Structure 1
Amino acid sequence: MAETKRRTGLGALATADGDEDFSVIDAIGGPRGVVESMLPGVLFVVMFVATNNLNLTIGVSAALAVVQVVVRLVQRQSVMGALSGLIAVGICLIWAWKSHEARNYYMFGFLTNAGYAALLAVSLAARVPGLGLVIEFIRQLPTERFGDWFRDWMGDRALKRAYMIITGLWMGLFLLRLAVQVPLYLTDHVAALGVARLIMGIPFWALAIWVSYLIIATPLHRHKAAGARASESNETNE
Protein backbone atom coordinates (compact mmCIF):
# COMPACT_ATOMS: atom_id res chain seq x y z
CA MET A 1 0.00 0.00 0.00
CA ALA A 2 1.48 3.37 -0.99
CA GLU A 3 2.36 5.76 1.79
CA THR A 4 0.24 8.92 1.90
CA LYS A 5 2.31 11.95 1.08
CA ARG A 6 2.48 14.34 4.00
CA ARG A 7 1.75 18.00 3.53
CA THR A 8 4.37 20.58 4.36
CA GLY A 9 4.28 24.09 5.81
CA LEU A 10 0.84 25.47 6.62
CA GLY A 11 -0.62 22.51 4.76
CA ALA A 12 0.63 20.30 7.60
CA LEU A 13 -1.19 22.51 10.12
CA ALA A 14 -4.38 22.19 8.07
CA THR A 15 -4.39 18.47 8.89
CA ALA A 16 -3.51 19.02 12.56
CA ASP A 17 -5.46 16.65 14.77
CA GLY A 18 -4.90 15.88 18.43
CA ASP A 19 -5.31 12.15 17.75
CA GLU A 20 -2.69 11.99 14.98
CA ASP A 21 1.09 12.03 14.96
CA PHE A 22 2.64 15.31 13.87
CA SER A 23 6.17 15.48 12.52
CA VAL A 24 7.95 18.82 12.38
CA ILE A 25 10.57 17.32 10.06
CA ASP A 26 7.89 16.25 7.60
CA ALA A 27 6.17 19.63 7.93
CA ILE A 28 9.31 21.49 6.85
CA GLY A 29 9.91 19.21 3.88
CA GLY A 30 11.86 16.32 5.40
CA PRO A 31 15.66 16.08 5.72
CA ARG A 32 16.16 16.51 1.98
CA GLY A 33 13.93 19.55 1.84
CA VAL A 34 15.81 21.14 4.73
CA VAL A 35 19.17 20.56 3.06
CA GLU A 36 17.95 21.87 -0.31
CA SER A 37 16.51 24.99 1.34
CA MET A 38 19.57 25.83 3.40
CA LEU A 39 22.38 24.81 1.03
CA PRO A 40 22.21 27.82 -1.36
CA GLY A 41 22.38 30.26 1.54
CA VAL A 42 25.20 28.38 3.23
CA LEU A 43 27.17 28.20 -0.02
CA PHE A 44 26.65 31.90 -0.76
CA VAL A 45 27.96 33.18 2.56
CA VAL A 46 30.83 30.66 2.75
CA MET A 47 31.95 31.32 -0.82
CA PHE A 48 31.82 35.09 -0.43
CA VAL A 49 33.68 35.13 2.89
CA ALA A 50 36.31 32.71 1.55
CA THR A 51 36.90 34.38 -1.83
CA ASN A 52 35.47 37.91 -1.51
CA ASN A 53 34.58 37.43 -5.19
CA LEU A 54 30.93 38.29 -5.70
CA ASN A 55 30.70 37.16 -9.34
CA LEU A 56 32.22 33.76 -8.55
CA THR A 57 29.93 33.37 -5.55
CA ILE A 58 26.88 34.21 -7.65
CA GLY A 59 27.92 31.81 -10.41
CA VAL A 60 28.50 28.86 -8.09
CA SER A 61 25.29 29.52 -6.15
CA ALA A 62 23.26 29.72 -9.36
CA ALA A 63 24.79 26.47 -10.62
CA LEU A 64 23.89 24.72 -7.37
CA ALA A 65 20.27 25.88 -7.55
CA VAL A 66 19.97 24.57 -11.11
CA VAL A 67 21.60 21.26 -10.20
CA GLN A 68 19.05 20.73 -7.41
CA VAL A 69 16.20 21.00 -9.90
CA VAL A 70 17.94 18.79 -12.47
CA VAL A 71 18.60 16.08 -9.88
CA ARG A 72 14.91 15.99 -8.96
CA LEU A 73 13.95 15.78 -12.65
CA VAL A 74 16.37 12.90 -13.21
CA GLN A 75 15.00 11.09 -10.18
CA ARG A 76 11.43 11.77 -11.36
CA GLN A 77 10.51 13.44 -8.10
CA SER A 78 8.39 16.49 -7.44
CA VAL A 79 10.30 19.58 -8.52
CA MET A 80 7.89 22.22 -7.23
CA GLY A 81 9.80 22.87 -4.02
CA ALA A 82 13.16 22.96 -5.77
CA LEU A 83 11.75 25.07 -8.61
CA SER A 84 10.25 27.65 -6.26
CA GLY A 85 13.56 27.70 -4.42
CA LEU A 86 15.37 28.23 -7.72
CA ILE A 87 13.17 31.23 -8.51
CA ALA A 88 13.71 32.76 -5.06
CA VAL A 89 17.47 32.19 -5.18
CA GLY A 90 17.55 33.56 -8.73
CA ILE A 91 15.88 36.79 -7.62
CA CYS A 92 18.35 37.14 -4.74
CA LEU A 93 21.36 36.48 -6.95
CA ILE A 94 20.21 38.88 -9.66
CA TRP A 95 19.66 41.56 -7.03
CA ALA A 96 23.19 41.10 -5.69
CA TRP A 97 24.70 40.97 -9.18
CA LYS A 98 22.92 44.08 -10.48
CA SER A 99 23.82 46.13 -7.40
CA HIS A 100 27.38 44.71 -7.11
CA GLU A 101 26.79 44.29 -3.37
CA ALA A 102 26.72 40.89 -1.67
CA ARG A 103 24.44 42.15 1.09
CA ASN A 104 21.66 42.74 -1.44
CA TYR A 105 21.36 38.96 -1.81
CA TYR A 106 19.20 39.27 1.32
CA MET A 107 17.03 42.21 0.22
CA PHE A 108 14.27 40.03 -1.26
CA GLY A 109 13.95 38.29 2.09
CA PHE A 110 13.51 41.62 3.87
CA LEU A 111 10.72 42.60 1.50
CA THR A 112 8.87 39.30 1.84
CA ASN A 113 9.15 39.31 5.64
CA ALA A 114 7.93 42.91 5.81
CA GLY A 115 5.08 42.11 3.41
CA TYR A 116 3.95 39.06 5.38
CA ALA A 117 4.16 40.95 8.68
CA ALA A 118 2.07 43.80 7.27
CA LEU A 119 -0.61 41.46 5.90
CA LEU A 120 -0.86 39.59 9.20
CA ALA A 121 -1.03 42.86 11.15
CA VAL A 122 -3.93 44.02 8.97
CA SER A 123 -5.72 40.71 9.46
CA LEU A 124 -5.34 40.98 13.25
CA ALA A 125 -6.64 44.53 13.21
CA ALA A 126 -9.65 43.33 11.19
CA ARG A 127 -10.17 40.44 13.66
CA VAL A 128 -9.94 37.95 10.79
CA PRO A 129 -6.78 35.92 11.53
CA GLY A 130 -4.66 35.60 8.40
CA LEU A 131 -3.26 32.21 9.37
CA GLY A 132 -6.80 30.98 9.96
CA LEU A 133 -7.82 32.04 6.46
CA VAL A 134 -4.89 30.22 4.89
CA ILE A 135 -5.20 27.04 6.95
CA GLU A 136 -8.97 26.78 6.51
CA PHE A 137 -8.62 27.48 2.78
CA ILE A 138 -6.15 24.60 2.51
CA ARG A 139 -8.27 22.36 4.72
CA GLN A 140 -11.53 22.89 2.85
CA LEU A 141 -11.51 24.84 -0.39
CA PRO A 142 -14.64 27.05 -0.41
CA THR A 143 -15.73 26.33 -3.98
CA GLU A 144 -19.28 27.36 -3.12
CA ARG A 145 -21.18 28.96 -0.23
CA PHE A 146 -18.21 31.09 0.83
CA GLY A 147 -20.28 32.74 3.55
CA ASP A 148 -21.09 29.40 5.18
CA TRP A 149 -17.45 28.33 4.98
CA PHE A 150 -16.30 31.60 6.53
CA ARG A 151 -18.89 31.60 9.34
CA ASP A 152 -18.21 27.94 10.11
CA TRP A 153 -14.70 28.47 11.48
CA MET A 154 -14.98 32.14 12.44
CA GLY A 155 -17.99 31.25 14.59
CA ASP A 156 -15.96 28.73 16.58
CA ARG A 157 -14.62 31.00 19.33
CA ALA A 158 -11.93 28.61 20.55
CA LEU A 159 -10.65 27.94 17.04
CA LYS A 160 -10.70 31.61 16.06
CA ARG A 161 -8.81 32.52 19.24
CA ALA A 162 -6.17 29.88 18.43
CA TYR A 163 -5.84 31.25 14.91
CA MET A 164 -5.48 34.80 16.28
CA ILE A 165 -2.68 33.65 18.58
CA ILE A 166 -0.67 31.89 15.89
CA THR A 167 -1.22 34.79 13.49
CA GLY A 168 0.38 37.05 16.10
CA LEU A 169 3.14 34.48 16.60
CA TRP A 170 4.05 34.40 12.90
CA MET A 171 3.86 38.18 12.61
CA GLY A 172 6.28 38.38 15.53
CA LEU A 173 8.62 35.94 13.78
CA PHE A 174 8.75 38.07 10.63
CA LEU A 175 9.31 41.25 12.65
CA LEU A 176 12.03 39.63 14.75
CA ARG A 177 13.90 38.60 11.61
CA LEU A 178 13.80 42.20 10.39
CA ALA A 179 14.83 43.61 13.78
CA VAL A 180 17.92 41.39 13.90
CA GLN A 181 18.93 41.30 10.23
CA VAL A 182 18.27 44.82 8.93
CA PRO A 183 20.90 46.42 11.24
CA LEU A 184 23.44 43.87 9.98
CA TYR A 185 22.51 44.79 6.41
CA LEU A 186 22.85 48.52 7.08
CA THR A 187 26.30 48.03 8.63
CA ASP A 188 27.35 45.70 5.77
CA HIS A 189 28.16 42.70 7.97
CA VAL A 190 27.55 40.14 5.22
CA ALA A 191 28.91 37.09 7.09
CA ALA A 192 26.93 37.84 10.25
CA LEU A 193 23.85 38.57 8.16
CA GLY A 194 24.21 35.26 6.35
CA VAL A 195 24.53 33.35 9.62
CA ALA A 196 21.56 35.18 11.12
CA ARG A 197 19.48 34.41 8.03
CA LEU A 198 20.32 30.71 8.28
CA ILE A 199 19.60 30.48 12.01
CA MET A 200 16.37 32.44 11.73
CA GLY A 201 15.28 30.57 8.61
CA ILE A 202 14.49 26.86 8.75
CA PRO A 203 15.05 26.46 12.55
CA PHE A 204 12.71 29.34 13.41
CA TRP A 205 10.21 28.16 10.81
CA ALA A 206 10.22 24.67 12.34
CA LEU A 207 9.72 26.12 15.83
CA ALA A 208 6.84 28.33 14.63
CA ILE A 209 5.11 25.35 12.98
CA TRP A 210 5.54 23.18 16.08
CA VAL A 211 4.20 25.84 18.48
CA SER A 212 1.35 26.60 16.07
CA TYR A 213 0.45 22.91 16.03
CA LEU A 214 0.37 22.78 19.84
CA ILE A 215 -1.97 25.78 19.89
CA ILE A 216 -4.46 24.77 17.18
CA ALA A 217 -4.46 20.95 17.32
CA THR A 218 -7.09 20.58 20.06
CA PRO A 219 -9.57 23.27 18.95
CA LEU A 220 -9.24 22.18 15.32
CA HIS A 221 -9.83 18.53 16.28
CA ARG A 222 -12.93 19.52 18.25
CA HIS A 223 -14.16 21.66 15.35
CA LYS A 224 -13.73 18.77 12.91
CA ALA A 225 -15.53 16.40 15.29
CA ALA A 226 -18.43 18.84 15.73
CA GLY A 227 -18.69 19.22 11.97
CA ALA A 228 -18.75 15.46 11.49
CA ARG A 229 -21.50 15.08 14.08
CA ALA A 230 -23.55 17.84 12.44
CA SER A 231 -23.21 16.14 9.04
CA GLU A 232 -24.28 12.79 10.46
CA SER A 233 -27.27 14.42 12.13
CA ASN A 234 -28.33 16.11 8.89
CA GLU A 235 -28.06 12.83 6.97
CA THR A 236 -30.16 11.06 9.61
CA ASN A 237 -32.90 13.69 9.48
CA GLU A 238 -33.15 13.61 5.67
Structure 2
Amino acid sequence: MTETKKRTGMASLAAAGDDGDFSVIEAIGGPRGVVESMLPGVVFVVLFVATSNLNLTIAVSAALAVVQVLVRLIQRQSAMGALSGLFAVGICLIWAWKSHEARNYYMFGFLTNAAYMVLLSVSLIARVPGLGLMVEFIRSLPTEHFRAWFRDWMDDKALKRAYMIVTALWVGVFGLRLAVQVPLYLTDHVVLLGTARLLMGIPFWALAIWVSYLIIATPLHRHKDAARAAEQETEASEPVGGQIAE
Protein backbone atom coordinates (compact mmCIF):
# COMPACT_ATOMS: atom_id res chain seq x y z
CA MET A 1 0.00 0.00 0.00
CA THR A 2 1.35 3.39 -1.06
CA GLU A 3 1.98 5.77 1.81
CA THR A 4 0.50 9.24 1.40
CA LYS A 5 3.18 11.86 1.39
CA LYS A 6 2.71 14.34 4.22
CA ARG A 7 2.78 18.02 3.37
CA THR A 8 4.99 20.25 5.45
CA GLY A 9 5.33 23.99 6.02
CA MET A 10 3.14 26.24 3.88
CA ALA A 11 2.16 23.22 1.77
CA SER A 12 0.24 21.91 4.78
CA LEU A 13 -1.81 25.12 4.77
CA ALA A 14 -2.51 24.70 1.05
CA ALA A 15 -4.23 21.41 1.95
CA ALA A 16 -6.37 23.09 4.62
CA GLY A 17 -10.02 22.25 4.15
CA ASP A 18 -9.30 18.94 2.42
CA ASP A 19 -10.51 15.68 3.89
CA GLY A 20 -8.22 14.30 6.56
CA ASP A 21 -6.79 15.44 9.87
CA PHE A 22 -4.26 18.25 10.14
CA SER A 23 -1.11 17.33 12.05
CA VAL A 24 1.09 20.08 13.48
CA ILE A 25 3.96 17.61 13.93
CA GLU A 26 3.81 16.54 10.30
CA ALA A 27 3.46 20.16 9.19
CA ILE A 28 6.79 21.06 10.80
CA GLY A 29 8.59 18.04 9.37
CA GLY A 30 7.70 15.23 11.77
CA PRO A 31 9.64 14.24 14.91
CA ARG A 32 12.81 13.58 12.93
CA GLY A 33 12.60 16.91 11.13
CA VAL A 34 12.16 18.72 14.45
CA VAL A 35 15.21 17.01 15.93
CA GLU A 36 17.33 17.68 12.84
CA SER A 37 16.31 21.35 12.85
CA MET A 38 16.99 21.97 16.53
CA LEU A 39 20.03 19.76 17.17
CA PRO A 40 22.74 21.94 15.53
CA GLY A 41 21.57 24.98 17.52
CA VAL A 42 21.42 23.01 20.78
CA VAL A 43 24.91 21.60 20.21
CA PHE A 44 26.28 25.05 19.36
CA VAL A 45 24.99 26.64 22.57
CA VAL A 46 25.84 23.75 24.89
CA LEU A 47 29.32 23.16 23.48
CA PHE A 48 30.24 26.85 23.47
CA VAL A 49 29.09 27.23 27.09
CA ALA A 50 30.98 24.10 28.13
CA THR A 51 34.26 24.84 26.32
CA SER A 52 34.27 28.57 25.40
CA ASN A 53 36.13 27.33 22.32
CA LEU A 54 34.46 28.86 19.26
CA ASN A 55 36.51 26.93 16.69
CA LEU A 56 35.73 23.59 18.32
CA THR A 57 32.07 24.50 18.60
CA ILE A 58 31.92 25.46 14.92
CA ALA A 59 33.73 22.27 13.83
CA VAL A 60 31.44 19.95 15.81
CA SER A 61 28.28 21.77 14.70
CA ALA A 62 29.38 21.61 11.06
CA ALA A 63 30.22 17.90 11.32
CA LEU A 64 26.83 17.19 12.87
CA ALA A 65 24.98 18.99 10.07
CA VAL A 66 26.92 17.01 7.44
CA VAL A 67 26.25 13.71 9.24
CA GLN A 68 22.51 14.42 9.22
CA VAL A 69 22.56 14.77 5.42
CA LEU A 70 24.71 11.66 4.97
CA VAL A 71 22.38 9.57 7.14
CA ARG A 72 19.44 10.66 4.99
CA LEU A 73 21.31 9.72 1.82
CA ILE A 74 22.44 6.35 3.18
CA GLN A 75 18.86 5.53 4.18
CA ARG A 76 17.70 6.67 0.72
CA GLN A 77 15.34 9.20 2.19
CA SER A 78 14.60 12.72 0.98
CA ALA A 79 17.55 14.90 1.93
CA MET A 80 16.13 18.23 0.73
CA GLY A 81 15.16 19.42 4.21
CA ALA A 82 18.52 18.37 5.64
CA LEU A 83 20.37 19.96 2.72
CA SER A 84 18.55 23.28 3.16
CA GLY A 85 19.30 23.06 6.87
CA LEU A 86 22.96 22.34 6.11
CA PHE A 87 23.10 25.41 3.86
CA ALA A 88 21.58 27.66 6.55
CA VAL A 89 23.77 26.25 9.32
CA GLY A 90 26.81 26.60 7.06
CA ILE A 91 26.16 30.31 6.56
CA CYS A 92 25.70 30.81 10.31
CA LEU A 93 28.89 28.94 11.17
CA ILE A 94 30.97 30.72 8.53
CA TRP A 95 29.69 34.08 9.78
CA ALA A 96 30.68 33.22 13.37
CA TRP A 97 34.06 31.83 12.27
CA LYS A 98 35.00 34.80 10.09
CA SER A 99 33.99 37.35 12.73
CA HIS A 100 35.46 35.34 15.67
CA GLU A 101 32.26 36.08 17.61
CA ALA A 102 29.84 33.33 18.68
CA ARG A 103 26.87 35.73 18.65
CA ASN A 104 27.22 36.18 14.89
CA TYR A 105 26.03 32.58 14.47
CA TYR A 106 22.56 34.13 14.78
CA MET A 107 23.01 37.08 12.38
CA PHE A 108 21.67 35.22 9.32
CA GLY A 109 18.49 34.47 11.24
CA PHE A 110 18.00 38.15 12.01
CA LEU A 111 18.36 39.06 8.35
CA THR A 112 15.91 36.40 7.13
CA ASN A 113 13.34 37.28 9.80
CA ALA A 114 13.64 40.98 8.96
CA ALA A 115 13.31 40.28 5.22
CA TYR A 116 10.17 38.16 5.71
CA MET A 117 8.65 40.74 8.05
CA VAL A 118 9.23 43.60 5.59
CA LEU A 119 7.93 41.66 2.57
CA LEU A 120 4.79 40.51 4.37
CA SER A 121 4.19 44.00 5.78
CA VAL A 122 4.42 45.49 2.28
CA SER A 123 1.94 42.87 1.04
CA LEU A 124 -0.51 43.91 3.77
CA ILE A 125 -0.18 47.57 2.82
CA ALA A 126 -0.80 46.62 -0.82
CA ARG A 127 -3.86 44.58 0.28
CA VAL A 128 -2.44 41.47 -1.43
CA PRO A 129 -1.70 39.12 1.50
CA GLY A 130 1.69 37.49 1.11
CA LEU A 131 0.64 34.26 2.83
CA GLY A 132 -2.30 34.06 0.46
CA LEU A 133 0.04 34.31 -2.52
CA MET A 134 2.26 31.54 -1.16
CA VAL A 135 -0.58 29.19 -0.29
CA GLU A 136 -2.37 29.74 -3.59
CA PHE A 137 0.85 29.26 -5.58
CA ILE A 138 1.28 25.91 -3.85
CA ARG A 139 -2.36 24.98 -4.43
CA SER A 140 -2.39 25.84 -8.11
CA LEU A 141 0.64 27.18 -9.97
CA PRO A 142 -0.66 29.80 -12.44
CA THR A 143 1.25 28.73 -15.55
CA GLU A 144 -1.36 30.55 -17.64
CA HIS A 145 -4.40 32.78 -17.09
CA PHE A 146 -2.69 34.53 -14.19
CA ARG A 147 -5.37 37.20 -13.90
CA ALA A 148 -8.16 34.62 -13.56
CA TRP A 149 -6.11 32.69 -10.97
CA PHE A 150 -5.45 35.88 -9.00
CA ARG A 151 -9.04 37.12 -9.07
CA ASP A 152 -10.36 33.66 -8.15
CA TRP A 153 -9.12 33.86 -4.56
CA MET A 154 -8.75 37.62 -4.16
CA ASP A 155 -12.45 38.12 -4.95
CA ASP A 156 -13.45 35.64 -2.24
CA LYS A 157 -13.85 38.14 0.60
CA ALA A 158 -13.86 35.57 3.41
CA LEU A 159 -10.76 33.81 2.08
CA LYS A 160 -8.89 37.05 1.44
CA ARG A 161 -9.74 38.25 4.97
CA ALA A 162 -8.37 34.99 6.41
CA TYR A 163 -5.17 35.38 4.39
CA MET A 164 -4.79 38.98 5.60
CA ILE A 165 -5.16 37.91 9.23
CA VAL A 166 -2.68 35.06 8.83
CA THR A 167 -0.18 37.32 7.06
CA ALA A 168 -0.42 39.80 9.95
CA LEU A 169 0.09 36.88 12.36
CA TRP A 170 3.37 35.93 10.67
CA VAL A 171 4.52 39.55 10.63
CA GLY A 172 3.99 39.46 14.39
CA VAL A 173 5.98 36.22 14.75
CA PHE A 174 8.99 37.60 12.86
CA GLY A 175 8.74 40.95 14.64
CA LEU A 176 8.56 39.37 18.10
CA ARG A 177 11.61 37.23 17.37
CA LEU A 178 13.61 40.32 16.45
CA ALA A 179 12.29 42.34 19.40
CA VAL A 180 13.44 39.67 21.87
CA GLN A 181 16.64 38.43 20.25
CA VAL A 182 18.30 41.55 18.82
CA PRO A 183 18.76 43.20 22.27
CA LEU A 184 20.39 39.97 23.51
CA TYR A 185 22.71 40.06 20.49
CA LEU A 186 23.64 43.69 21.07
CA THR A 187 24.44 43.01 24.74
CA ASP A 188 26.40 39.86 23.80
CA HIS A 189 24.31 37.44 25.90
CA VAL A 190 25.13 34.41 23.74
CA VAL A 191 23.57 31.78 26.02
CA LEU A 192 20.30 33.67 26.45
CA LEU A 193 20.28 34.46 22.74
CA GLY A 194 20.77 30.80 21.85
CA THR A 195 18.04 29.74 24.26
CA ALA A 196 15.62 32.35 22.92
CA ARG A 197 16.44 31.30 19.36
CA LEU A 198 15.58 27.67 20.15
CA LEU A 199 12.37 28.48 22.03
CA MET A 200 11.20 30.94 19.37
CA GLY A 201 12.21 28.68 16.50
CA ILE A 202 10.37 25.39 15.99
CA PRO A 203 7.86 25.95 18.86
CA PHE A 204 6.82 29.36 17.46
CA TRP A 205 6.74 27.91 13.94
CA ALA A 206 4.46 25.07 15.09
CA LEU A 207 2.12 27.45 16.94
CA ALA A 208 1.92 29.84 13.98
CA ILE A 209 1.21 26.98 11.53
CA TRP A 210 -1.54 25.62 13.78
CA VAL A 211 -3.24 28.99 14.31
CA SER A 212 -2.92 29.72 10.58
CA TYR A 213 -4.64 26.43 9.81
CA LEU A 214 -7.50 27.24 12.19
CA ILE A 215 -8.03 30.59 10.48
CA ILE A 216 -7.71 29.38 6.88
CA ALA A 217 -9.38 25.94 6.96
CA THR A 218 -13.06 26.95 6.88
CA PRO A 219 -12.96 29.71 4.22
CA LEU A 220 -10.58 27.66 2.05
CA HIS A 221 -12.83 24.60 2.34
CA ARG A 222 -15.84 26.69 1.25
CA HIS A 223 -13.82 28.18 -1.61
CA LYS A 224 -12.80 24.73 -2.85
CA ASP A 225 -16.39 23.49 -2.61
CA ALA A 226 -17.63 26.47 -4.60
CA ALA A 227 -14.97 25.91 -7.25
CA ARG A 228 -15.89 22.21 -7.57
CA ALA A 229 -19.59 23.07 -7.82
CA ALA A 230 -18.90 25.64 -10.54
CA GLU A 231 -16.78 23.12 -12.45
CA GLN A 232 -19.49 20.46 -12.26
CA GLU A 233 -22.10 22.95 -13.43
CA THR A 234 -19.91 23.87 -16.39
CA GLU A 235 -19.38 20.21 -17.33
CA ALA A 236 -23.12 19.50 -17.06
CA SER A 237 -23.94 22.36 -19.42
CA GLU A 238 -21.57 21.11 -22.14
CA PRO A 239 -22.98 18.92 -24.99
CA VAL A 240 -22.64 15.20 -24.24
CA GLY A 241 -20.62 12.99 -26.59
CA GLY A 242 -19.59 15.88 -28.79
CA GLN A 243 -23.18 16.32 -30.17
CA ILE A 244 -23.96 19.73 -31.59
CA ALA A 245 -27.25 21.20 -30.49
CA GLU A 246 -29.59 21.96 -33.37
Q: 2:62 aligns to what? A: 62
CA distance in 1: counterparts of 2:237 and 2:101, whole angstroms: 68
| Distance in 2, Cα, partners of 1:7 & 1:58 | 32
Counterparts in 2 of 1:147-186, with a 5 A limit? 147-186=147-186
Q: Aligned partner of 1:68: which letter?
A: Q
The whole-number CA distance in structure 2 between the counterparts of 1:77 and 1:155 is 41
CA contact (8 A) 1:62 1:93 kept: yes
Counterpart amino acid of residue 156 in structure 1: D
| Structure 1: distance between partners of 2:146 and 2:18 | 27
- Give the 5 Å matches for 1:13-24: 13-17=13-17, 19-24=19-24
Percent identity among equivalent residues?
79
CA distance in 2, matches of 1:31, 1:4: 17
Amino acid at match of 2:208: A
1:136 aligned to 2:136? yes
Q: Does 1:106 align with 2:106?
A: yes
> Which shows bigger deviation, 13-22 or 94-103?
13-22
Matches of 1:86 and 1:213, distance apart in 2: 28
5 Å matches for 1:89-128?
89-128=89-128
The CA deviation string for residues 55-97 of structure 1, in whole angstroms up to 9 with x for no partner, is 0000000000000000000000000000000000000000000
Which amino acid in structure 2 is aligned with residue 112 of structure 1? T
Q: Is the 8 Å Cα contact of residues 123 and 130 (structure 1) preserved in structure 2?
A: yes
The AA in structure 1 aligned to 2:158 is A
Distance in structure 2 (CA, Å) of the matches to 1:26 and 1:66: 23
The 8 Å contact of residues 156 and 223 in structure 1, kept in 2 or not, is answered as yes
Q: Give the C-alpha shift of residue 3 in structure 1.
A: 1.2
How far has the Cα of 1:20 moved from its partner? 2.6
Q: Give the aligned partner of residue 79 of structure 1.
A: 79
SS at match of 1:85: helix
RMSD (CA atoms): 0.6
In structure 2, C-alpha distance between the alignment counterparts of 1:21 and 1:203, rounded to whole Å = 20
Q: Which amino acid aligns with 1:169?
A: L
Displacement, 1:123? 0.1
8 Å Cα contact 1:9/1:28 also seen in 2 = yes
In structure 2, runs of 5+ residues without a counterpart are: 239-246
Which ranges of structure 1 fall in alignment gaps of 5 or more residues? Answer: none
Taking the TM superposition and a 5 Å limit, the aligned residue runs for 1:210-221 are 210-221=210-221
Aligned residues: 238
Identify the residue that residue 50 of structure 1 maps to in structure 2.
Answer: 50
Contact 1:45 1:194 in 2 (8 A): yes
Q: Distance in 1 between matches of 2:179 and 2:89?
A: 22
CA distances 1:150-204 after superposition (whole Å, capped 9, x unpaired) = 0000000000000000000000000000000000000000000000000000000
Measure how far apart 1:132 and its partner are.
0.1
- Report the alpha carbon displacement of residue 17 of structure 1 after superposing the two structures with TM: 1.1
Task: Kindly state the Cα deviation for residue 18 of structure 1 after the two structures are TM-superposed.
Answer: 6.3
What are the residue-to-residue correspondences of 1:178-217 with 2, within 5 Å?
178-217=178-217
Is the 8 Å Cα contact of residues 44 and 57 (structure 1) preserved in structure 2? yes
Residue in structure 1 matched with residue 243 of structure 2 by the alignment = none
Q: Secondary structure at the match of 2:105?
A: helix
Deviation string for 1:204-223 (max 9, x for gaps)?
A: 00000000000000000000
